[in-house]
Chains A and B, each alone.
Chain A
Amino acid sequence: MSAIDPEDLQQHRSYLVRYAILQLRDPHLAEDAVQETLVAAIEGRDKFSAQSSLRTWLVGILKHKILDMLRRRAREPQLNVAEGEDENELVDALFKENGRWAAPPQTWNEPEQSMENTHFWEVFEQCNQRMPLNTARAFMMREFMEMSTEEICQELSISTTNCWVLLHRARLALRECLDINWFGNVR
Chain B
Amino acid sequence: MLDCKHNTELLSQSLERRITWRERLAMRMHLMMCRGCRNFEKQLAFIRKAARELPRKL
Contact = CB atoms under 8 A, between A and B. Distances in A.
Nearest to A56: B55
Interface residues of B, number: 32
B49 to A, nearest CB: 8
A171 interface: yes
A22 B58 CA distance: 10
B12 A143 contact: no
B51 A164 contact: no
A30 interface: no
A91 B58 contact: no
Nearest to B10: A168
Interface in A158-187: 163-164, 167-168, 171-172, 174-175, 178-179
A123 to B, nearest CB: 11
B46 A19 contact: no
Interface in B35-53: 35-37, 39-40, 42-44, 46-53
Interface in B1-50: 3-6, 8-9, 12-13, 15-17, 34-37, 39-40, 42-44, 46-50
Interface centre among A18, A22, A111 (most CB of B within 10 A): A111
A144 B3 contact: no
Prevailing SS type, chain A contact patch: helix
B16 A175 contact: no
A108 B16 contact: no
A95 B5 contact: yes
B51 A104 contact: no
Interface string A32-72: 00000000000000000000000000010000000000000
A107 interface: yes
17 contacts: A15-B58, A100-B3, A100-B5, A101-B37, A104-B36, A104-B37, A104-B39, A105-B37, A105-B39, A105-B40, A111-B43, A111-B46, A124-B50, A144-B55, A175-B40, A178-B47, A179-B43
Which 5 pairs from chain A and chain B are nearest by CB?
A104-B36, A99-B3, A143-B51, A168-B12, A105-B39
